[in-house]
Amino acid sequence: MPAPRISMRKIKEILRLKLDARLSHEQIAAALGISKGVVTKYVGLASAAGLTLSQVQEADETQLQHRLAGPGKKPINHVQPDFGRVHQELRRKGMTLALLWEEYCADHADQQTYAYSQYCDKYNRFAKLLKRSMRQIHRAGEKLFIDFAGPTILLTDGTRAHIFVAAMGASSYTFAYATERETMVDWLNGTARALQFYGGVPQLIVPDNPKAMIANADRYEPRANDTVLDFARHYNTSILPARPYHPQDKAKAESAVQIVERWIMARLRHHTFANVHEVNAAIIPLLTRLNQKLFQKLPGSRASTFTSIDAPALMALPTQPYEIAWFKTVKVHVDYHVDIERHRYSVPHALVGQVLEARMTKTMIQLLHRGERVASHPRNASVGGFSTIDDHMPTAHRAHQQWTPERFIHWGQTIGPATAEAVTRIMAENKHPEHGYRTSLGLLSLAKHYGKERLEAGCAVALQIGACQYRHVRNILKNNRDQHTVTAKEWVSPDHAHLRGSDYYQ
């Protein structure tokens, strides 16, 4: 069975994480739930096309697809770097692979060299062969580790408060927040509150592999669900799940959870709480004490280290907080509406038959076609109802929607009173006014062929004989009966021998 085709939205995400976040192929693959080969393929196509970050962000999906599909040149006879020397140089303080790659390109400017992504990929393969173990060094503002504590806090109604924990990689600055459960909404709300607490966004957010967030917790290619990826796009960051059964991947989170359990939850064991809001109110002062507590072997505290190291390196928060969104694939019906939870929302009529992606929040329904929003509606819980925007309708449908009995009667009045009266009778004779629309439209259209004066005269004749339907007026005009004056005379019986008279009935 062939692998599903990767969407252009995910391709743009690959290029954003590579060109903006400068993540490795392996990190991008793990964050997006795809293989490294796919990452290498599209990064290579973008490099061959000469695409920059701004070009990727400004181009729509169709333009980006054409740029990537262009002919690319495959480099041959590359100069092989001395990765042994590269590995030794990386031990120097402040040394990076990007700087070594630039020197490599400068030393061989007249020869074919590897692109930066290929250079990094080949070095990573070389480093794996060394089988070295090294202590993790967290860069400033790079990673935020998140997890839930194992123990919970009992509430008076019998439920339990679950404690969400987050910690910055470089400073270990810790955040804790009580939630009602451990659903996807609780995970994302806790993470959003943590980002507000830190006042910025790291490059990576590292959770465990909870089923609520990770659709496929594969050891090598974990795949986050669409809502989690949407959360990451909103904050311009990436979700990189830790490997299953590898606590060393999230040692900061494990340590932070243990500290929160000992320094916060243990101090609250004798308290009584009615809800999670009371728990959070009790956590705030204890959390402040925890972050201001001095390190035993290092200078300063979590708070001071965060202020000097992590905080300046964090990216800015978006102007609007994230609203939880769910995604669903929908197909546009022939009436240019899509069905979401038994309510129908309109899209531009040109998209009939197309498959769209619905982004659903508590208040809004957004419909996306190839990553671009084509319709937006307030969410409506009316079962069987319709939410229709006039601009989405064909011209003929839009005109029909504006039809009313009053509009047809007013149209008839512009021709004459007899015509207006004929239209009024047509509307009155039908059970529902819409049943008379077509008859009235046909009647009024006779003015195009016979003129307004003759139509008015024909309607006057029709009113006299009590036949106001379209076919009656059409026949009157066709037979020119409107051009003959009809004089009504009183009928008098002639005299004849068969008259009996009033005496006959005595």
CA distance 313 to 307: 10
Whether 277 contacts 146, CB under 8 Å = no
User: Which range among 84-98, 122-136, 460-474 has the greatest average pLDDT?
Assistant: 460-474
- pLDDT of 489 above 60: no
Dihedral (C-alpha) 427, 431, 433, 435: value to the nearest 10 degrees? -100
Residue 369, helix vs strand vs coil: strand
CA distance 202 to 191: 11
What is the tens place of the pLDDT at every residue in 61-110?
Answer: 777 777 777 654 554 578 888 887 676 566 554 568 888 888 899 888 88
What residue type is 134 in one-letter code?
M
DSSP structure string for 202-239: -SEEE----TTTEEE--SSS-EE-HHHHHHHHHTT-EE
Residue 345, helix vs strand vs coil: strand
287 confidence band (pLDDT: 50, 70, 90) = very high
| pLDDT at residue number 3 | 59
Angstrom distances, CA of residue 187 to CA of 217, 257, 324, 499: 16, 15, 11, 105
- pLDDT of 222 above 90: no
User: By mean pLDDT, which of 2-6, 124-128, 369-373 is the weakest?
Assistant: 2-6
How do strand 153-154 and strand 238-239 relate by DSSP bridges? unpaired
More confident residue, 121 or 215: 121
Q: State CA 488 to chain mean position distance.
A: 73
- pLDDT of 221 above 60: no
Percent of the chain at pLDDT > 70 equals 81
Pair of tokens at residue 274: 């009615």
Could you tell me how many helices (H) and strands (E) the chain has, helices first? 20, 15
Q: Which residues of 425-440 are buried (b: 16+ CB within 10 A; e: fewer)?
A: bbbeeeeebeebbebb
CA distance 347 to 360: 15
DSSP structure string for 9-50: HHHHHHHHHHHTS---HHHHHHHHT--HHHHHHHHHHHHHHT
Whether 370 contacts 8, CB under 8 Å = yes
Residue with tokens 């964090």: 314
Whether 128 contacts 216, CB under 8 Å = no
Q: Give the contacts of 359 (CB within 8 A, at least 6 positions apart).
A: 230, 325, 326, 327, 365, 366, 367, 368
280 confidence band (pLDDT: 50, 70, 90) = very high
Percent of the chain at pLDDT > 90 equals 10
Pair of tokens at residue 456: 């008015």
Candidates 386, 411, 415, 413; CA nearest to 399 is: 411
| pLDDT at residue number 194 | 92
CA distance 362 to 349: 26
Q: Give the residue-averaged pLDDT of 164-172.
A: 87
What is the tens place of the pLDDT at every residue in 246-278?
Answer: 555 567 778 888 889 888 888 888 889 999 999
Q: Give the residue-averaged pLDDT of 439-449.
A: 84
HSE at residue 194, side-chain half, CA atoms within 13 A, is 30
Candidates 398, 481, 425, 416; CA nearest to 452 is: 416
**Taking the model in full, what pTM does it have?**
0.50
Whether 224 contacts 214, CB under 8 Å = yes
CA distance 54 to 436: 58
Candidates 45, 114, 109, 110; CA nearest to 78 is: 114
- pLDDT of 165 above 90: yes
482 confidence band (pLDDT: 50, 70, 90) = confident
Pair of tokens at residue 80: 């092989």
CA distance 344 to 70: 40
Backbone phi, then psi, for 432, in 5-degree steps? -125, 135
User: By mean pLDDT, which of 252-261, 466-475, 477-486 is the weakest?
Assistant: 477-486
Between CA 16 and CA 202, with CA 26 as vertex, the angle to 5 degrees is 55
Q: State CA 107 to chain mean position distance.
A: 47
| pLDDT at residue number 72 | 46
Q: Give the residue-averaged pLDDT of 274-285.
A: 92
Whether 377 contacts 345, CB under 8 Å = yes
- pLDDT of 32 above 80: yes
Q: Give the residue-averaged pLDDT of 400-428.
A: 80
| pLDDT at residue number 193 | 92
- pLDDT of 47 above 90: no
Domains and CATH numbers, the chain: 8-130 (no CATH), 143-313 (3.30.420.10), 326-393 (no CATH), 403-483 (no CATH)
Q: Give the residue-averaged pLDDT of 379-386.
A: 81
CA distance 373 to 365: 10
Whether 213 contacts 169, CB under 8 Å = no
Q: Which long-range contacts (CB under 8 A, 24 or more apart) does 104-111 make?
A: 104/79, 108/79, 111/77, 111/79
Residue with tokens 């003759």: 454
Backbone phi, then psi, for 367, in 5-degree steps? -115, 125
More confident residue, 316 or 402: 316
CA distance 220 to 243: 7
- pLDDT of 184 above 70: yes
Q: Give the residue-averaged pLDDT of 414-418.
A: 88
DSSP structure string for 305-356: HIIIIIHHHSBPPPSS-----EEEEEE--TTSEEEETTEEEE--GGGTT-EE
